[in-house]
Amino acid sequence: MKGGYMLNELDPLLHSELRLAVMSILIGVEEADFVYLREQTNATAGNLSVQLDKLSTAGYIEVRKSFKGKMSHTTCRITPVGIDAFARYVDTIKGYLHISG
Amino acid sequence: MKGGYMLNELDPLLHSELRLAVMSILIGVEEADFVYLREQTNATAGNLSVQLDKLSTAGYIEVRKSFKGKMSHTTCRITPVGIDAFARYVDTIKGYLHISG
DNA sequence: GGTAAGTAGTTTATTTTATAAACCAACTAA
DNA sequence: TTAGTTGGTTTATAAAATAAACTACTTACC
């Protein structure tokens, strides 16, 4: 996928519908909790859990697990690394979409 | 993935790096042959073959197999259905990328 | 107290998808 | 004739997404 025309490689971590959705939401907000993300993306909890792990492992988001009483509560926020990766992804995919600027 | 915020479902047929690359190339050109697409995308022939089949089966592209002597020659062109799907994909993913218009 | 139902999530298994490896057939050149 | 190249397809493997099952806690009701 390298060396071609004008098509650079798309970050495989972001080129996934659910992970991209999560990043898209997080980039516009200070932080969001697990339930909010699940509602907004309509993902199953299991799928969301897995994808948040991947984003977290990559350092794209920070996941904080706290307790409200004894009930767990998970909040996520995007990191500077994540913001950067998202920006690069946007630039790259613009090449595919024939969007200039 | 439906009913959320501003994030509609991304056409899974187009939300694949290689298939999107193929469509991106084909939308800008009358037609392109197998070799050209393989070079521009840097895909393996096997992978390209499979993905062209999927796009063709969906009616997004038309694949014409001819013979130059006895050597096979495959040319592809995008269909109106494909142009339409591509346009919708672009609109949809703009929501994820925070690109307006 | 006991049990049924709901919330908040994780782990694991299954399905789907992408990718690579192996292959077929023809051609080219030594 | 045989070794390498071109133009692909088919098949096997690796990786990814998704769903199902499960843990742990809470609330409501009898």
Q: pLDDT per residue over A37-72, tens digit each? A: 999 999 999 999 999 999 999 999 999 999 888 889
pLDDT over 80 (residue A5): no
Kindly report, residue by residue over B70-85, the tens digit of the pLDDT: 888 999 999 999 999 9
The CATH code belonging to domain B17-91 is: 1.10.10.10
Of B45, B50, B63, B39, nearest in space to B16 by CA: B50
Q: What residues are paired with B32 via a beta bridge?
A: B76
Cα separation, A37 vs A78, in Å, equals 13
pLDDT score recorded for residue B23: 97
Phi/psi of residue B91, nearest 5 degrees? -60, -45
Q: Decide if A78 contacts A96 (C-beta within 8 A).
A: no
Neighbours of A26 (CB within 10 A): 23
For residue B46, what are its two tokens?
């096997």
CATH topology of domain A17-89: Arc Repressor Mutant, subunit A (1.10.10)
Q: For residue B47, which nucleotide's C1' is closest to its Cα?
A: C19
Q: Decide if B8 contacts B95 (C-beta within 8 A).
A: yes
Report chain D positions within 7 A of protein CB atoms: 6-11, 16-21, 24-26
CB distance B25–A41 less than 8 Å?
Answer: no
Cα separation, A49 vs A39, in Å, equals 13
Q: How confident is the model at residue B49 (pLDDT cuts 50, 70, 90)?
A: very high
Cα separation, B24 vs B16, in Å, equals 12
Protein CA at A20 to nucleotide C1' at C27, angstroms: 47
Q: How far is B40 from chain A (nearest CA, A)?
A: 4
Protein CA at B3 to nucleotide C1' at C20, angstroms: 38
Of A16, A90, A63, A51, nearest in space to B95 by CA: A90
